[in-house]
Amino acid sequence: MMKYKILFLLLFTALFAQAQKKNYAVILPTDSESEIIFKAANVVPSPRQLRWQKLELTCFFHFGVNTFTGNEWGTGKEDPKIFNPTKLNANQWVKTAKDAGFKQVILTAKHHDGFCLWPTKTTEHSVKNSPWKNGKGDVVKEVADACRKQNMGFGIYLSPWDRNSKFYGTDEYNDFFVKQLTELLSNYGRIDEVWFDGANGEGPNGKKQVYDFDRWYRVIRKLQPAAVIAIMGPDVRWVGTETGYGRETEWSVVPADNLDQAAISSNSQKSINFKPTGDMRGDDLGSREKIIHAKGLVWYPAEADVSIRPGWFYHKDQNDKIKSPEKLLDIYFHSVGRNCVLLMNIPPDKEGLINDADIKVLHQWTKLRDDIFKNNLATGAIISSSNGIHGNALLDKKYDTYWTTKAKDTSAVIELKLKNKSTFNVLMLQENIAIGQRIEKFELDYWDGNDWQKATEGTTVGYKRLLQFNNITTDKVRLKILSSRLNPTLSEIGLYFQPETGNDNAKEKK
């Protein structure tokens, strides 16, 4: 009986500790360095951030008047009559994305030109004044419905910078923007991501607009509480380039010094709202050196955006400049494989279809990924780690179960005796970020018959880490976790073989 009481108490304490975890931490002036590191190791994603991170692959659709003018940034003076996709088929867009492994799409409901892809009540500058479907069409609805039908997430891009609205530059613009947001968040079912672009080309003598971000966030939280707010928003950070590459060391916990400390302390919510300020482009955002001087910490994970083409919008003369399948594979390794979510843009053409040239590349890219990741050569390995527990969780294909160390040790060695002698050149690791991001340094060694040799090494892991290295043939490897902010966790481990693709991937290999 006593045994059950203790078990119950332990379970209750564990659940309580879990429920206590937040996606931010307040740092007190009296906190020591080790207390700050402990706090950082216990910051976790909010449920909406965790759902988003698990998507790995998300897809952008840039579509609008620019598709018809050939511009990248419209002026806002375009005649709505130019918008006339003759074969628009949103099911084809979403199917193309789904077939390539994407889990969610984001549509440019309004780009900087202010042209709205839905028949909004807020402006005449929209599809309702275009010849497309005699002004009765609604691109947002067609894409939202296609996503629902094909079980894909759906998000919207609504550009804060609006070169058409007569309100831009006045207080009324915030009311106008809230009305647009309200329409989009009320009439199209579930919205999973709201993307606020930071771009503004007004220049020093242009219109000045103060965006009421706090109000916008409140509207989103009220109407679509599950949606993440990206870029100029509190949930998802812009990785800092538009190349699709994440940092070698990518921490999801970063300083949040612009947070209102008093508000956080009294905040009973599980996650907070804050506007990103400061430089998010540096090489190092979350190392010990960065966080020990912080006043607050926040879970703020990176999204790596990139276009499959040179431009964000479709231009016919770029049909032969689509990134190669090998380049896209390299991007995959350095975005998803570096603790980021990839947001890849595939712009529909003037007819309103994803072009065959893009589809062809996407098929080849998907095949390259499948060929590598279909066969985990660690499957069936015998796992041992002297100071670790739940080793079997590493190969059970379940993200939520995880290996960790017994007495909260911050280093460990995990040995894998492979089922067969195998040749591999890719390592995959996944930390259980629902517990926190902790691993700071690791190394993979292999047994060459006489001794241990280093295969590769890395710093952060996070949701997913992929490392490529030269071919290794062995039946025994060991993963050394050399440094961690608290007891490390690992959900999954994988060893894969990447066949030579004849590209210059090798230079990325270690």
Site residues (vs ligand FUL, CB under 6 A): 72, 197, 199, 305, 312
* CA–CA dist 82, 69 (Å, integer): 8
In whole angstroms, the minimum distance from the beta carbon of 305 to ligand FUL comes to 6
Q: Is the CB of 305 or the CB of 431 nearer to ligand FUL? A: 305
Q: Is the CB of 64 or the CB of 488 nearer to ligand FUL? A: 64
Q: From 380, 386, 389, 410, select the one nearest 494 (Cα to Cα).
A: 380
Q: Is the CB of 232 or the CB of 444 nearer to ligand FUL? A: 232
In whole angstroms, the minimum distance from the beta carbon of 199 to ligand FUL comes to 3
In whole angstroms, the minimum distance from the beta carbon of 335 to ligand FUL comes to 15
In whole angstroms, the minimum distance from the beta carbon of 198 to ligand FUL comes to 6
Q: Is the CB of 199 or the CB of 389 nearer to ligand FUL? A: 199
Residue nearest to ligand FUL (CB): 199
DSSP string over 301-367: -EEEEEESSSSSS--GGGTT-PPPHHHHHHHHHHHTTBTEEEEEE----TTSS--HHHHHHHHHHHH
Report the phi/psi class of residue 493: left, alpha or beta, with left for phi > 0 and alpha for psi in -120 to 50: beta
3-state secondary structure of 158: strand
Give the CA radius of gyration of the chain.
24
Q: Is the CB of 111 or the CB of 478 nearer to ligand FUL? A: 111
In whole angstroms, the minimum distance from the beta carbon of 200 to ligand FUL comes to 9
Q: From 427, 390, 403, 352, select the one nearest 127 (Cα to Cα).
A: 352
Is 385:488 a contact under the CB 8 Å cutoff?
no
Q: From 269, 423, 341, select the one nearest 105 (Cα to Cα).
A: 341
In whole angstroms, the minimum distance from the beta carbon of 310 to ligand FUL comes to 12
In whole angstroms, the minimum distance from the beta carbon of 158 to ligand FUL comes to 11
Q: Is the CB of 106 or the CB of 414 nearer to ligand FUL? A: 106
* CA–CA dist 330, 243 (Å, integer): 11
In whole angstroms, the minimum distance from the beta carbon of 68 to ligand FUL comes to 16
Q: Is the CB of 312 or the CB of 402 nearer to ligand FUL? A: 312
Token pair in block for residue 291: 């966080």
3-state secondary structure string across 3-58: HHHHHHHHHHHHHHHHHHCCCEEECCCCCCHHHHHHHHHCCCCCHHHHHHHHHCEE
Q: Is the CB of 60 or the CB of 300 nearer to ligand FUL? A: 60
C-alpha neighbours within 13 Å on the C-beta side of residue 197: 22
